[in-house]
Chain A
Amino acid sequence: MAIINAEELSKTYRISEKQPGFAGTLRHLVQRKHREITAVNKISFCIEPGEIVGFLGPNGAGKTTTLKMLTGLIHPTSGKLSVAGHKPWQRKARFLGQITLVMGNRQQLLWDLPALDSLKVNAAVYGIPEKEAQRRINELAEMLELGEELLRPLRKLSLGQRMKTELLAALLHQPAVLFLDEPTLGLDVNAQVRVREFLADYNKRTGATMLLTSHYMGDITTLCPRVLLIHQGELFHDGSLSELTQKLAPCSQVRMELSKIHSIEDFRGYGDIHSLEGHQVQLLIPRAELSERVAALLKRFEVVDLEVSAPPIEELIGGLFRHRDKL
């Protein structure tokens, strides 16, 4: 049974609009103009227990709004939603004890105090007995490679250390569902890798379900066998990253360096010719026929160097959004 089930989920905001300048301000004071914006438009998906799902989309696509509906912070305008068997917006204590939200751009721990003090507060709020809380803190601290950092005021920790302590605080109550909104935001490459490794390890150990948004494709490719792609509030893709790549780029790019110069005519029938400059040729070949065509090319031409690649996923997604925006 799915742990997250969203059916035709929508959220519409009513916002007031103001023209720039002093005249616009006066008009805004006297006669306010409102407009409705559909941030999320009838999206449906299910997530099974233990899955790690990446939630992709450009800024303003509706990712954070969806996460906030799933965590119960905002009411959906329409549609059905169930998370861990609860209606999130009711925010019942039993539901809140089963989820957690980590936001890379906001912190819940007290700035002036060591993380350990804030962790004790969290343990009390979640009703975790002192000894059990200490055991969990030790276990998570070991996984996150945190030691005396927990005893230093938060303001004296690096960004990466702060994010790790935030993760520890968010996981102290052993939630079944983790909502991670840009958990690696602003971290250097090493810290990003460590956070990813921790999340993968945590998922393996506890079987927790994770829904992760990130603008760093490395987070998604490393952690998420499945991705949801959202754009302008609508769900564009629900499946694996390779299926998404297939969908966005059904052809592979084959670049060859040849010993002799050939004309365009010589490459007819092997694929679409992307470019031909001197000894260099680039062809686009459907993935299904890739091995057969490459074998034929190697047989026909004297090839000095050969490279087969798929376009980077960032470019594919960026291209998709640019293309759809123009439509």
Chain B
Amino acid sequence: MKEIKRYWSSLCCFWSSSIAAEFEYPLNAWVELLSVLGNLAGSIFVLKLLFGNGVSLGGWSWNGSLIVLGLYTILDGFTTCVLQPNLSRIVNHIQTGTLDYVLLKPIDSQFWLSTRTVSPWGLPGIIAGFCLISWALIKPSSSIGYGLPSGGAMLLAIALLIASLAILYSLWFVLAALSIWFIKVWNATEVLRYTLVAGRYPVSAYPPALRLIFTFVLPVAFLTTIPAEALLGKSSSIWAIGALGVAGICLTGSRLLWNYAQRFYTSASS
């Protein structure tokens, strides 16, 4: 209990100090807000074009696709809030040798490296994502809206959203941890971010080969499509259990890899 309290108060200090540091540059907030709105408008425009001829997108309706897009926007906001500011620093810590200071603190180093900073500039994305999902669900013309999901569907969707956050985090962390061996892996995390853009459309909209890749190689399907299905009450229990399982495996894998990688850390020369 004492340990949990220590970790909690550390997290509070981490985040209050990093928010204070971020507000040294307040213009970022406006730039990020414009960027999120621009991206969202672009994505909706593309969806509108696709649905313009009345076709469905891989069996998904307009509103269903908006829910997938909303989930993607939430994940992208989470990336901006937590993943990008923290995990991009791991490479820097290793290159400059300041990882020494992290490893010498009596706190779990993975916890420190994953939570030390938070950037509020991802919040507009998260809020926009939730707004889009809500709008798609409760749109007044109920002929195309789905209506509010049942309590069970809502709970399952929340669990699957948490699972998708865990998968996304693990993928980023594993790539960042590889920098202990390869140092310059920052480009790989950028590639990952842009590959995951595929998650803004339902995975069934892609050709079969890509669908396989997005399910079993890069788990894009587990990030947005499966939680969206749960929200729409279309979820199959096998896929839902699969998503939770993949999240567990990814988290455990990232943990094991980090513990293993630390043995190879030689620290930068002085």
Main secondary structure of the interface of A (DSSP, over half): mixed
Interface status of A248 (Cβ within 8 A of chain B): no
Q: Which of B98-106, B154-162, B218-226 contacts A (4 or more CB under 8 A)?
A: B98-106
Interface status of B44 (Cβ within 8 A of chain A): no
A13 to B264, CA, bound (A): 10
A117 to B21, CA, bound (A): 10
A97 touching B106 by the CB < 8 A rule? yes
Main secondary structure of the interface of B (DSSP, over half): helix
8 extra interchain contacts, Cβ-Cβ under 8 A, other than A123-B13, A125-B107, A181-B270? Answer: A71-B104, A93-B107, A100-B104, A106-B96, A106-B98, A107-B98, A112-B21, A113-B17
B105 touching A106 by the CB < 8 A rule? no
Interface status of A87 (Cβ within 8 A of chain B): no
Known: A74-B265, A75-B263, A112-B24. A120 touches B10 (CB 8 A): no
The 8 closest A-B pairs by CB, nearest first: A93-B106, A96-B106, A108-B101, A124-B13, A124-B10, A112-B21, A121-B13, A127-B6
How far does the Cβ of B19 sit from chain A's closest Cβ, in whole Å? 10
Interface status of A110 (Cβ within 8 A of chain B): yes
Interface status of A101 (Cβ within 8 A of chain B): yes
Interface status of B269 (Cβ within 8 A of chain A): yes
B41-59 contact mask (Cβ, 8 Å, vs A): 1 or 0: 0000000000000000000
Most chain A CB within a 10 A radius of its CB, from B105, B106, B263: B106
Task: Across the interface, name the chain A residue whose C-beta is closest to B117.
Answer: A110
Task: Across the interface, name the chain B residue whose C-beta is closest to A179.
Answer: B104
Task: Across the interface, name the chain B residue whose C-beta is closest to A114.
Answer: B20
How many of chain A's residues have a CB under 8 angstroms from any CB in B?
36
Residues of B within 8 A of A108 (CB): 98, 101
A103 to B101, CA, bound (A): 10
Residues of A within 8 A of B6 (CB): 124-125, 127
Known: A64-B269, A118-B17, A121-B13. A106 touches B100 (CB 8 A): yes
How far does the Cβ of A131 sit from chain B's closest Cβ, in whole Å? 14
A4 to B267, CA, bound (A): 22
Residues of B within 8 A of A123 (CB): 13
B17 touching A91 by the CB < 8 A rule? no
B7-30 contact mask (Cβ, 8 Å, vs A): 1 or 0: 001101110010011001000000
Interface status of A73 (Cβ within 8 A of chain B): yes
A99 to B269, CA, bound (A): 20
Task: Across the interface, name the chain B residue whose C-beta is closest to A91.
Answer: B103
B17 touching A73 by the CB < 8 A rule? no
Residues of A within 8 A of B266 (CB): 13, 74
Interface status of B97 (Cβ within 8 A of chain A): yes
25 contacts between A and B (CB under 8 A): A71-B100, A72-B103, A73-B100, A74-B266, A74-B267, A91-B104, A93-B107, A97-B106, A100-B104, A103-B97, A106-B96, A106-B98, A108-B101, A112-B24, A113-B17, A113-B20, A113-B24, A120-B17, A121-B10, A121-B13, A121-B14, A124-B13, A125-B10, A125-B112, A126-B106
Interface status of A238 (Cβ within 8 A of chain B): no
Residues 69-102 of A at the B interface (beta carbon under 8 Å): 71-75, 91, 93-94, 96-97, 99-101
How far does the Cβ of A291 sit from chain B's closest Cβ, in whole Å? 44
Known: A64-B269, A103-B270. A110 touches B105 (CB 8 A): no
A124 touching B9 by the CB < 8 A rule? yes
Known: A75-B263, A106-B96, A125-B107. A64 touches B21 (CB 8 A): no
Chain B residues close to A by CB (< 8 Å): 2, 6, 9-10, 12-14, 17, 20-21, 24, 96-98, 100-101, 103-107, 112, 263, 265-267, 269-270
Interface status of A68 (Cβ within 8 A of chain B): yes
A101 touching B100 by the CB < 8 A rule? yes
Task: Across the interface, name the chain A residue whose C-beta is closest to B5.
Answer: A127
A98 to B196, CA, bound (A): 44
How far does the Cβ of A159 sit from chain B's closest Cβ, in whole Å? 17
A142 to B249, CA, bound (A): 51
A73 to B97, CA, bound (A): 11
Task: Across the interface, name the chain A residue whose C-beta is closest to B268.
Answer: A106
A270 to B267, CA, bound (A): 54
Interface status of A182 (Cβ within 8 A of chain B): yes
A113 to B21, CA, bound (A): 6
How far does the Cβ of A59 sit from chain B's closest Cβ, in whole Å? 9
B270 touching A125 by the CB < 8 A rule? no
How far does the Cβ of B264 sit from chain A's closest Cβ, in whole Å? 10
Residues of B within 8 A of A124 (CB): 6, 9-10, 12-13
Interface status of A206 (Cβ within 8 A of chain B): no
A156 to B100, CA, bound (A): 25
B104 touching A110 by the CB < 8 A rule? no
A315 to B104, CA, bound (A): 36
Most chain B CB within a 10 A radius of its CB, from A99, A108, A123: A108
A112 to B119, CA, bound (A): 14
A94 to B107, CA, bound (A): 10
A105 to B97, CA, bound (A): 10
Residues of B within 8 A of A101 (CB): 100-101, 104
Task: Across the interface, name the chain A residue whose C-beta is closest to B24.
Answer: A112
Residues of B within 8 A of A93 (CB): 106-107
B106 touching A120 by the CB < 8 A rule? no
A106 touching B97 by the CB < 8 A rule? yes
Known: A13-B266, A64-B269, A124-B12. A106 touches B106 (CB 8 A): no
A120 touching B13 by the CB < 8 A rule? yes
Residues of B within 8 A of A153 (CB): 24
Task: Across the interface, name the chain B residue whose C-beta is closest to A123.
Answer: B13
